[in-house]
Amino acid sequence: MGTALIFVIIFGAFGWFIYKMLRFTAKSVGDESPLAVVVTYEKTAWDYFTRFNFLFNFVLVFLILMLAYLGSFLMPKVAKHPVHWLLAASLLALSGWGAWYLWQIAKLEWQYWAITRNRVVTMNPADQSIKIEHEQDCWLITPDNIDTIEYHFPGRNSSKMVAVYSYLIFRLADGQSVYLNRNSIYLDFALDEYFKNVPQQVVEHKIPWIKPI
């Protein structure tokens, strides 16, 4: 019974992996991709705020609170030597640094949500266009009306905590700049195909702010 269960788990996991890979291929470069059919997507609040890296921040909040509790209440009660007080101060300093870092992440999340919410993106291979609709605004971006595409990424020396944040700026010929969260893996395939003759620029940031705060 145990051997059969292990067999089912292993081959079930392998089958699930193969299925996900086939679905990825179909939606990225296959018959269901923006290279073959019209694809529309919109990231809802549920999609955005249930991401693993966002939820992981709550684990960090718990750890920071634990460090603050240890340094503020527990360690002073049992401290008998200077090294104990040094440890308590170190825990407080570490919790303070963690709180500051999480505050930076919170500001990043707010900025990226601002360029994500209520944005409907439609990719059309027929005319190689990307339409971005946001409330009362609508931009139809084609190879004929765009000057350049900017890819904004964390730099090579950036913290792993900000590695998941990146965004696009479409610089249009009429002077407008359209911002879009780079949070769809299928979008990159459309950009590479639709705008392969359009100048592209990669901009690296220590922390990929969308605008100065």
pLDDT recorded at residue 213: 40
Instruction: Enumerate the domain spans of the chain.
Output: 2-41+118-205, 52-112
What distances in angstroms separate CA 39 from CA 9, 32, 33, 36, one per listed residue?
A: 34, 8, 7, 9
Of all residues in the chain, the percent with pLDDT exceeding 90 is 46
CATH of region 2-41+118-205: 2.30.29.30
What distances in angstroms separate CA 124 from CA 45, 93, 196, one per listed residue?
A: 25, 52, 15
Question: 191, 208, 205, 199: which is closest to 171 by C-alpha?
Answer: 199
Of all residues in the chain, the percent with pLDDT exceeding 70 is 84
CA dist 109 and 161 (Å) reads 12
The answer on pLDDT for 96 being more than 80 is yes
The beta strand positions in 83-128, using DSSP E, are 119-124
pLDDT digits (tens, 9 = 90+) for 8-60: 677 676 677 676 676 666 666 667 778 878 989 899 999 999 998 899 889 98
Contacts of 121 (CB under 8 A, 6+ apart): 40, 41, 42, 130, 131, 132, 133, 180, 184, 187
Cα 35 to chain centroid, rounded: 23
Q: What is the pTM of this model?
A: 0.81
CA dist 213 and 205 (Å) reads 14
The answer on pLDDT for 116 being more than 50 is yes
